[in-house]
C-alpha cells in the first residue's frame, strides 16, 4: 500500500541572489510608475498642467512611496517564504508573498518539466523551473534557482518521470 504524501514545508531555499533579482524587477516597475506623472508635471506636457500639477505631484509621491515600500519588503519576504524540495516521490513547493501557497506534485502526475531564463534572470545567474502536472491547479514553479541547479533538477525530474511508475495517472 503506497504511503500517502503529506503537506509539509519544503527544505531548500532559493538562491540568495533571488533577492537582488526581485528587487530589480520591482524597481523596474516602481521607478517609471512614479517618474511618469512627475515628468509630465515638470515638462508641462499637458495643456492643463497648472490645474493638474498638484494632483500629478501627489500621484508621483504616492506611487514613489508605494514603490519604495514594496521594493523594501517584498524581496526579503519572498526569500523567507519560497522553498522547494524534490524527493523520490514528489516535488514540494512553497511560494507567494501576500498569498502563500504550498503544493505537492507526485512524480506520477508530472507531465512536463521546463526551465526559463529571462534577461534579468541571466544577469543574476538564475532560472525558474516549471513542473506541469495533470492537476487543474496548474503548474508548480520554483523561481530563483541557480541556473546549474535548475538544469540538474530538470534532468532529474525528466528521468524520474520517463520511467514507468506504478499508479501513473497521466
Per-residue pLDDT of the chain (170 residues; tens, 9 = 90+): 566 666 678 999 999 999 999 999 999 999 999 999 888 888 776 666 677 788 889 999 999 999 999 999 999 999 999 999 999 889 999 998 888 898 988 888 899 999 999 999 999 999 999 999 888 788 999 999 999 999 999 999 998 887 745 555 54
Strands 12-13 and 83-86: antiparallel
**pTM exceeding 0.85:** no
- Name 10's Cβ contacts closer than 8 Å, sequence gap at least 6: 83, 84, 85, 92, 93, 94, 102
DSSP class of residue 4 equals P
**Class of the 82-162 domain?**
mainly beta
- SS3 of residue 68 by DSSP: helix
Residue ranges per structural domain of the chain: 17-78, 82-162
Distance CA 31, CA 36 (A): 9
Amino acid at each position: 500500500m503506497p504511503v500517502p504524501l503529506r503537506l509539509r514545508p519544503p527544505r531548500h531555499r532559493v538562491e540568495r541572489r533571488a533577492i537582488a533579482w526581485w528587487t530589480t524587477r520591482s524597481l523596474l516597475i516602481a521607478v517609471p510608475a512614479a517618474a511618469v506623472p512627475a515628468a509630465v508635471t515638470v515638462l508641462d506636457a499637458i495643456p492643463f498642467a497648472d490645474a493638474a500639477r498638484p494632483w500629478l505631484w501627489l500621484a508621483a509621491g504616492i506611487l514613489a512611496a508605494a514603490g519604495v515600500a514594496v521594493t523594501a519588503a517584498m524581496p526579503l519576504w519572498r526569500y523567507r517564504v519560497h522553498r522547494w524540495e524534490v524527493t523520490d516521490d514528489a516535488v514540494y513547493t512553497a511560494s507567494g508573498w501576500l498569498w502563500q501557497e504550498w503544493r505537492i506534485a507526485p512524480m506520477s502526475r508530472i507531465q512536463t518539466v521546463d526551465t526559463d531564463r529571462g534577461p534579468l534572470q541571466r544577469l543574476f545567474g538564475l532560472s525558474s523551473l516549471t513542473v506541469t502536472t495533470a492537476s487543474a491547479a496548474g503548474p508548480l514553479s520554483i523561481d530563483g534557482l541557480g541556473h546549474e541547479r535548475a538544469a540538474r533538477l530538470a534532468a532529474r525530474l525528466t528521468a524520474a518521470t520517463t520511467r514507468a511508475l506504478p499508479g501513473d495517472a497521466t
